[in-house]
Amino acid sequence: MRVPKKNILGRRDDSLYGLLSSYKSNYTYIKVFVSEEDHSIVLLLADNPKRFFDMPVEKFRNYRMLSRLEMGIAKISIKYLSPENLIVVLGPLLGFTIPPEKSVMIDSLKKDGYYSMETSLRYKTRMLQGVKKLINMSPHKRYEILEKYFSADQEYSDGRTE
């Protein structure tokens, strides 16, 4: 049996997973709710699954949570990325092909710790395709999002952009 090499003398791990390892505490948890009565679908993102319990219960009384099987995905979290990283880099629609005027976004990440996007049930397939795309994102794409997030953050903090 082969013994893995240890990081001797504090050498940096420049592989993709080595670069991402410093962000391993960042996660984005996803839940999708559907209501046939209200004819709407809601996507929720949070950095911690307990944040989903902080949401207003009366709003989601008519909604049913979709399972991973119904969404066609294997997991419900995105490793190495926080919801803020996704929203800043991909935009408020997260790169989904949903018309902006047909959706309502509520960004309460700072206050309550979750982000929600609600749209008509007509766009259910587009929403689920977007969720699959986010979940199945390659590690390289995740690292690109982190780079863009931190470079945009640095530009604004340096005062170089107006």
Query: pTM value?
Result: 0.81
CA separation for the pair 61, 160 (Å, rounded): 47
| Structure confidence by residue, pLDDT tens digits, 108-133 | 888 888 999 999 999 999 999 999 99
**How high is the pLDDT of residue 51?**
85
Tokens matching residue 95: 């790169």
pLDDT band at residue 4 using 50, 70 and 90 as cut-offs? low
The strand pairing partners of 29, in sequence order, are 46, 77
Residue 54, C-beta contacts closer than 8 angstroms, at least 6 positions apart: 112, 113, 114
| Mean pLDDT in residue range 34-39 | 94
CA separation for the pair 147, 150 (Å, rounded): 5
- Neighbouring C-beta atoms of residue 19, cutoff 10 Å: 16
Q: Per-residue pLDDT for 30 more than 60?
A: yes
Tokens matching residue 14: 């420049």
